[in-house]
Amino acid sequence: MTAAEEALNAVHGGQTDVEGYFTYVSGVGYIPRDIYKYVKSNPFGDLPRYSVHIVIQHILIFTTFIALAATGIALHYSDLFWAPYVIRLFGGIDTSQLIHRSAAFVMIGASVYHILTIVGSTAQKILKKEFDIRRTQVPLPKDLFDLIHDIKYFLGLTPHRPKMEKFMYKQKIHYLAILWGSFVLISAGTALLFPEHIALLWPFDPAFLQDLARIMHADEAIMALIIIAFWHLSNVHFVPGRFPAQWTVFTGKITREHQLEEHFLEYLRNLSEIPEEREYMRSLLAELGFAEREGSLDETRP
């Protein structure tokens, strides 16, 4: 029995909803929701996801964050038994402070670079009438429904994951967390680095502001480190099928399998924008036997 026959038997057996399971794309055919199980993917990526600007920004933010976390936490908790070893690794307290401040300025520059990229590219798309808010990091009502759908999927209450956009709900939450965390770290760090200048802008007790900034800077750094170590790395790089790393951060491309599973609606757009991908999917559907059954299915559109 072919993969197509097994899928269709499941559909007609009442285990899957035809309308939700198949998506019809004109000139390509009916794409089953779990087609990602049968595609060929290059670990280094098949389809475009990030521009070269985003790749550069991600690398800058990642490398500077590691340097900032390693030096900053060791300096803040210098009285703990492990801190002197880390500080010595970076060449002593003075060198650690220099590395920390240098990395901070690079991170601020990368953040400004990111804002200019987002604003500039958005303005350009608006002028060309190509802007689509669904392809952005802006939270939308659909994200809440996708979250509920995904919870049902992981509980075994529905057979397939939702059809999600270029950025799914988890990525949007993470992005908002990064924005907030960066704001707290940069503002608090600036207050600690330039206390005299900040005191001129702060009408209340300067000592209170410094204590508050010190607490905010350290606590936010620890929270960010925990999120990166236990959420981002495990969710993006260590999950089955992407271990030991997802190379999108360096190549700007996403694997076909990953996009079909978690960003299905973005894949449909790629089908309309990339002729080679349309031909690949058309050939794959014919190979799996779905093309032979098109006439027996109700047409559904994305």
pLDDT of residue 291: 64
What is the sign, positive or negative, of the torsion defined by CA atoms of 240, 267, 38, 152? positive
pLDDT of residue 117: 95
Residue with tokens 């900053």: 72
Share the mean pLDDT of the chain. 87
Lowest mean pLDDT, pick from 85-99, 199-213, 249-263: 199-213
Q: How many residues does the chain have?
A: 302
What burial letters (b/e) apply to 157-195, b meaning 16+ CB within 10 Å?
A: ebebbbbbbbbbbbbbebeeebeebbebbeebbbbeeee
CA dist 175 and 181 (Å) reads 10
pLDDT of residue 296: 40
- Long-range contacts (CB closer than 8 Å, 24 or more residues apart) made by 257-260: 257/36, 257/39, 257/41, 258/36, 258/41, 259/46, 259/47, 259/49, 260/35, 260/36, 260/39
Number of structural domains in the chain: 1
Residue 7 lies in a domain: no
- The DSSP bridge partners found for residue 130 are none
Give residue 56's domain range. Answer: 50-131
Quote the tokens at residue 128.
């060309």
204 versus 107: the higher-pLDDT residue is: 107
218 alpha-carbon distance from chain centroid: 25
CA dist 251 and 273 (Å) reads 19
Residue 232 lies in a domain: no
CA dist 141 and 134 (Å) reads 11
pLDDT of 204 > 50? The answer is yes
**Average pLDDT for residues 85-108, to the nearest whole number?**
95
**Average pLDDT for residues 143-166, to the nearest whole number?**
94
pLDDT of residue 1: 47
List Cβ neighbours of 266 (8 Å cut-off, separation of 6 or more): 135, 165, 166, 259
Respond yes or no on whether the N-terminal peptide bond of residue 302 is cis (omega within 30° of 0): no
Residue 257 lies in a domain: no
Residue 160 lies in a domain: no
Residue 142 lies in a domain: no
5 alpha-carbon distance from chain centroid: 35
CA dist 278 and 13 (Å) reads 30
Q: How confident is the model at residue 13 (pLDDT cuts 50, 70, 90)?
A: very low
Q: Residue 9: what residue type?
A: N
List Cβ neighbours of 227 (8 Å cut-off, separation of 6 or more): 174, 177
Residue 125 lies in a domain: yes
6 versus 285: the higher-pLDDT residue is: 285
Q: Which of 164, 144, 130 is nearest to 254 (CA)?
A: 164
Share of the chain above pLDDT 70, in %: 90
CA dist 193 and 81 (Å) reads 26
pLDDT of residue 40: 92
Q: How confident is the model at residue 115 (pLDDT cuts 50, 70, 90)?
A: very high
Q: Which value, in Å, is the radius of gyration of the alpha carbons in the chain?
A: 24
Residue 82 lies in a domain: yes
pLDDT of residue 169: 95
CB of 20 within 8 A of CB of 33? yes
Residue 146 lies in a domain: no
Q: How confident is the model at residue 234 (pLDDT cuts 50, 70, 90)?
A: confident
Q: Which of 38, 50, 43, 48 is nearest to 6 (CA)?
A: 38
